[in-house]
Amino acid sequence: NAGVTQTPKFQVLKTGQSMTLQCAQDMNHNSMYWYRQDPGMGLRLIYYSASEGTTDKGEVPNGYNVSRLNKREFSLRLESAAPSQTSVYFCASSRYGDTGELFFGEGSRLTVL
């Protein structure tokens, strides 16, 4: 079972460049999430999509945009990358939006120079 698949796994960008992180889940989950993980800061929610057709801001949305393309796919876009966006990004999904049982992808390591 693939679960949650993220691409790319690694990316190096220059300041000001744009890129899109892709995420797909094959568990028929309704809710999907994007988190970033930084040393000493834990996991912080960037954006989430409680169900297909809806998206909402999380704790740290500035500098990011998202698209819930369909029930399976949820992408995260950096329009103009900044060094502060150097992080490990995780996509997650959950069947029941209220409870917080999340299934995570393996992460995308992004470095912005």
Partner 1 sequence: QKEVEQDPGPLSVPEGAIVSLNCTYSNSAFQYFMWYRQYSRKGPELLMYTYSSGNKEDGRFTAQVDKSSKYISLFIRDSQPSDSATYLCAMSSPARGAGGTSYGKLTFGQGTILTVHP
Positions that interact with partner 1 (CB under 8 A): 4, 31, 40-43, 45, 48, 50-51, 54-57, 90, 92, 94, 96-107
Residues forming beta bridges with residue 90, ordered by sequence position: 35
Encoded tokens for 36: 């970033």
* C-beta separation of 67 from 74 below 8 A: yes
Which residue's CB is nearer to partner 1, number 38 or number 79?
38
Shortest spacing between CB 72 and partner 1, in angstroms: 18
Shortest spacing between CB 42 and partner 1, in angstroms: 5
Which residue's CB is nearer to partner 1, number 4 or number 81?
4
H or E element, residue 21: strand 19-25
DSSP readout, 55-110? -EE-S--TTEEEEE-SSSBEEEEESS--GGG-EEEEEEEESSTTT---EE---EEE
Shortest spacing between CB 77 and partner 1, in angstroms: 19
Which residue's CB is nearer to partner 1, number 105 or number 112?
105
Shortest spacing between CB 17 and partner 1, in angstroms: 24
Cα separation, 72 vs 108, in Å, equals: 18
